[in-house]
Amino acid sequence: MPSQEQLTSSRRKSRGHIRQRKGQQSWIKQLEWKQPVYSDAPIEPLSEDELQTIHEAAMRIMEEIGIDFLNSEAREILKHGGCDVSTDSPTVRMDRAFVMELIEKAPSAVTLYPRNPQRSLKFGESYGAFGMVSSPPNVSDLDNGRRTGNREDYRNLLKLAQIFNCIHFTAGYPVEPVDIHPSIRHLDAMLDKLVLTDKAVHAYSLGTERIEDVMSMVRIAAGVNEEEFVQQPRMFTNINSSSPLKHDWPMLDGAMRMSRNNQLVVVTPFTLSGAMAPVTLAGALAQQTAECLAALALLQLVRPGAPVAYGSFTSNVDMRTGAPAFGTPEYVRATQISGQLARYYGLPWRASNANAANYPDPQATWESAASLWACSSAQANMVFHAAGWMEGGLCASFEKVVIDCEMLQQMIYYHRPINVTDDDLAIEAIKDVGSTGHFLGSEHTQSRYQTAFYEPFLSDWSNFENWTEQGAKTTIQRANQLYKQALRHYEPPNMEKGIKEELHEFVKRRKLEGGAPTDF
């Protein structure tokens, strides 16, 4: 077992750099593993006064209207903490001094240590981290179309999450492996995650047994005992409020168990403007903030200083049909303002790369590009669904994973520092080339060309004639080829034999015990 110091030192040595095994990735040129840092000043759509106004509204919602906590233990804790807890309803009202004092206790940045310490991630400040698509019930690719989620596709998506360096963590299941019985799904699914990837993982808050099982498995994978486990955040959960104004039992139960164990909890209200939240952006964001802070206050009561994050998901619905929309101008603004709010409260911030398209085509791309720009311009610390999400979350697309990874890489590259040294200004080279030469042959170019520019793995920049001759392959077709090529080149990350055996033993034992109840 490496000590904390060893881990830190090992992390430092490999700071943002995991050496590729020889030959493993010669089939693709991708940026090296490194957590991105945003470089521009964040876009802040609201003035300080306007931001304060949203804050005030959120406080009034918590004070005057209250949030329903459908969990008696949570209500008990809040009552004990001094809240106005209704006896004949689940509603809890909390005043602003109480809430803000507790929010103050939450750390503004959290470092997560997955089983491979070289994959550690810092959530907060100007750090970004991108997660694989999570939780869709369906999956699709060009070859076999759209189908119900299953373990094979689930495992293949995990392999892609491991292969692409621009994916930093997995959140929920990249697709629901519906062919595994719900009572034992969390066991097999987490076994796959921990074996097939060495990046940070997430546990669903879906009942006591599941969250406890998954915490145990993450602990085993890290090779630590229970005491050591709680010394560091090693995993995370995400809970959604049942907007409007409601937190459900299993979510609260899971979140409190995670907080007690010093693990990261993201609270993300499901505030679709016009449906579960006001039709106005300001109203939806006030409600999002109230629902989020109320749960975060509870978690800070459970364990002061517990790592938590402000999650945003506010978007709008199509008012003609009620269908959710993503990547819209409203979504971009809601996301950017959420970033402002998270910074206002000094909390790490989670957002998403979302779209509502049915096919990985231009609509999917412009909606995702807008979502990603929102995350990039406002400095989202955790970007959920960063690759592969489709249909407002109802489908994971293999081709979209590759398309998104290309966009993610470009976004990472964009934030690199720009050099303006004398050498970069190239006055001598300009003089040498003069008005009749060409820069391609100049020494200044020749000594730099190999690393001068970003190299995409999915773009085709050949001219029309060559492109046609090579089969006129569209981006979707190239993405299809590339994801299958990636799977052929997948190699599992290293895992100690003893640890793997212990994980399998644990899964076997828990299956024999019946897994988790399915009547939640």
Stretch 472-511 residues interacting with a second copy (CB under 8 A): 472, 474-476, 479
CA 45 to chain centre: 23
> What angle, rounded to 10 degrees, do the helices at 281-302 and 48-60 form?
60
Instruction: Tell me the site size for a second copy, rule CB under 8 A.
Output: 117
Task: Count the helices and strands in the chain (H runs, E runs).
Answer: 19, 21
CB hemisphere CA count around 54 (13 angstroms)? 25
The piece of 6-14, 119-127, 217-225, 268-276 that touches a second copy (CB under 8 A) is 268-276
Phi-psi map region of 348: left, alpha, beta (phi>0 left; psi -120 to 50 alpha): beta
Question: Which residues, at least 6 apart from 189, have a Cβ–Cβ distance to it below 8 Å?
Answer: 151, 154, 173, 177, 180
Cα distances from 43 to residues 38, 284, 379, in angstroms, run 12, 20, 9
CB 304, min distance to a second copy, A? 28
User: Is 97 a binder of a second copy (CB under 8 A)?
Assistant: no
Residues 308-347 that bind a second copy (CB under 8 A): 316, 318-319, 321-325, 328-330, 332-333, 337
Q: Which of residues 381-410 bind a second copy (CB under 8 A)?
A: 391, 394-395, 403, 406-407, 410
Alpha-carbon radius of gyration of the chain: 24
Q: Should residue 461 be labelled a site residue for a second copy when binding is judged by CB under 8 A?
A: yes
Site string for a second copy, 415-444 (x = CB under 8 A): -x-xxxx-xxxxx-xxx-xxx-xxxx---x
Which region, judged by CB under 8 A, interacts with a second copy, from 148-156, 192-200, 217-225, 356-364? 356-364
Closer by beta carbon to a second copy, 180 or else 390: 390
Interhelix angle 249-260/208-222, rounded to 10 degrees, is: 30
Q: In the complex, what is the shortest distance from the CB of residue 338 to a second copy, in angstroms, rounded to a whole number?
A: 13
- Count how many residues are written for the chain: 520
User: Cβ distance 353 to 383 under 8 Å?
Assistant: yes
Nearer to a second copy, 40 or 101 (CB): 40
Q: Which span sits near a second copy by CB under 8 A: 97-105, 219-227, 454-462, 487-495? A: 454-462
Does the N-terminal peptide bond of residue 117 adopt cis geometry, omega within 30 degrees of 0? no
Residues 184-223 that bind a second copy (CB under 8 A): none
Quick check: 298 binds a second copy (CB under 8 A)?
Answer: no
246 contributes a contact to a second copy by CB under 8 A = yes
Stretch binding a second copy (CB under 8 A), from 228-236, 253-261, 277-285, 502-510: 277-285
**Taking CB under 8 A as the rule, does residue 27 contact a second copy?**
no
Cα 503 versus chain centre, distance = 25
Phi and psi, residue 75, nearest 5°: -60, -40
Site for a second copy contains 364 (CB under 8 A)? yes
Cα gap 205→241, rounded to integer Å: 12
Window 47 to 76, contacts with a second copy (CB under 8 A): 50, 53-54, 57, 60-61, 64-65, 67-68
CB of 183 to a second copy, least distance (A): 29
Assess 462 for contact with a second copy (CB under 8 A).
Answer: yes
According to DSSP, the β-strands at 389-390 and 324-325 are unpaired
Site for a second copy in 120-179 (CB under 8 A): 138, 146
C-beta of 7 vs 429, nearer to a second copy: 429
